[in-house]
A and B are shown apart, each in its own frame.
Chain A
Amino acid sequence: AQKITQTQPGMFVQEKEAVTLDCTYDTSDQSYGLFWYKQPSSGEMIFLIYQGSYDEQNATEGRYSLNFQKARKSANLVISASQLGDSAMYFCAMTPYSSASKIIFGSGTRLSIRP
């Protein structure tokens, strides 16, 4: 079965602290892509970061980095120096390359940043 698991339904973090959002995945595909999206209260899904299954280095985009541990099938998102604007729902997602259309989303983690 192909599945994304996000075990943290909600998190509270103090402003300026770093935060790690957990994501584990399950797939039999050897090739796949991993993504994180942010969904603020406005509802739009904002692409944050991508990691390919064959990428040896962890992806980084500004304050976002993806801690990719292939053997453990984990793809945690790390946000450094959190800001109030980071408060949102965060979704981990995966595209198994055996399917042209499929993208599998996790259930999401609601992150709240305290001032």
Chain B
Amino acid sequence: GAGVSQSPSNKVTEKGKDVELRCDPISGHTALYWYRQSLGQGLEFLIYFQGNSAPDKSGLPSDRFSAERTGGSVSTLTIQRTQQEDSAVYLCASSLGWRGQGQETQYFGPGTRLLVL
């Protein structure tokens, strides 16, 4: 079946502009995650959705970052008034949402490479 898809694959924007990043999870996956990865670094957790609810937003770095998920499927990560330090690869992952027997395995999309000039 289809994997996790993300769009756009690349985004160049000017400082101060808003951007929207989209994630389409694997069909049937109830859990969805957003991460950020700066060049040469590990993954930084941003937010977790279970269905349309976001029980863990602890990783969002500032109130300029927000995310929503509709219909238990597609999610959008919005960054308002972008700053140069927001430049990174934004990765989305989805999982079945259960714990045990590998059902918590997260499958990642190809990422969106964001460059803020």
The residues of A with any CB-CB pair to B shorter than 8 Å are 31, 33, 35, 37, 42-47, 50, 52, 91, 95, 97, 100-103, 105-108
**Residues of B with C-beta under 8 A to A106:** 42
What's the least CB distance linking B69 to chain A, in Å?
Answer: 14
Known pairs A45-B43, A103-B104 / 9 extra A-B pairs, C-beta < 8 Å: A33-B99, A33-B104, A35-B105, A43-B110, A44-B110, A46-B108, A95-B99, A100-B31, A103-B106
- When chains A and B are docked, how far (Å) is the Cα of A108 from the Cα of B101? 24
**Residues of B with C-beta under 8 A to A31:** 99-100
CB <8 Å contact, B55 and A45 = no
**Residues of B with C-beta under 8 A to A33:** 99-100, 102, 104-105
The residues of B with any CB-CB pair to A shorter than 8 Å are 31, 33, 37, 42-43, 45, 48, 50, 55-56, 89, 91, 93, 99-102, 104-111, 113
CB nearest neighbor in B for A42:
B110
- When chains A and B are docked, how far (Å) is the Cα of A31 from the Cα of B31? 19
A contact patch SS: loop
**Total A-B pairs, Cβ < 8 A:** 64
**Residues of B with C-beta under 8 A to A45:** 43, 91, 93, 108
What's the least CB distance linking B73 to chain A, in Å?
Answer: 18
CB <8 Å contact, A107 and B110 = no
CB <8 Å contact, A52 and B101 = yes
In-complex Cβ contact of B42 among A52, A91, A97, A102 (8 A): A91
What's the least CB distance linking B29 to chain A, in Å?
Answer: 13
CB <8 Å contact, B55 and A100 = yes
- When chains A and B are docked, how far (Å) is the Cα of A96 from the Cα of B47? 17
CB <8 Å contact, B105 and A108 = no
CB <8 Å contact, B42 and A44 = no
CB <8 Å contact, B106 and A105 = no
